[in-house]
Amino acid sequence: MMEAGVVIDLNGEPLHWHLPVDRTVVSLPDSRPLWDIVWENREKIAGIAHSHPGGGVPGPSYEDVTTFSAIERALGRRLKWWITSADAAIVAVWTGPGLLTYSSTLCKELEWMKKLRQISNDVHVANATILFAREGERP
């Protein structure tokens, strides 16, 4: 298993799969290319999802919420932050008033979550930044 991320557009579709070379089983590294994608598509992004290892209800780490907050301050608007585990998913949103006050709720299964788990679990997927032009396309 390797953590993976995906940028979701306002239609609920994957816009960009984030599979950096130096991702690990428990982390995704700082990535300027990810920020460039977010900034270039800032008008059409609903949020960003990433996978956690193992099962159970996932929760954001301190690293996660500080990243949520920094990206939202740069964009000037709030996003949704999904996190998946092997068998559950949550969505975190800023609820304030503190800079890092995010609340998580269990999330229904969304179509792209299956693919996010597949990509996370398939250690043979090449570590690369991959753009999915069409639904159903595999890396």
Partner 1 sequence: MTMHGPIRPEEARVNVTYGGKNGDLPDPVHFDSTDGDIRGWVTEAVRAGSIPGIDADPNADFRDFVVDRFEANEARPHRLIQMRPKTPFGGHEARVRAALDWALVEYASTLAKLAQ
Give the residues lining the site for partner 1 (CB under 8 A): 1, 3, 5, 24-32, 34-35, 38-39, 42, 50, 52-56, 59, 61-64, 66-67, 69-71, 73-77, 85-86, 99
In the complex, least distance from residue 93 CB atom to partner 1, rounded to whole angstroms? 16
In the complex, least distance from residue 76 CB atom to partner 1, rounded to whole angstroms? 3
Spatial separation of the C-alpha atoms in residues 27 and 107, rounded to whole Å: 22
Residue (31 or 127) nearer to partner 1, CB: 31
Residue (1 or 91) nearer to partner 1, CB: 1
Residue 10, SS3 per DSSP: coil
Spatial separation of the C-alpha atoms in residues 125 and 66, rounded to whole Å: 28
Residue (27 or 103) nearer to partner 1, CB: 27
Residues 6+ apart with CB under 8 A from 13: 112, 135
Spatial separation of the C-alpha atoms in residues 94 and 48, rounded to whole Å: 14
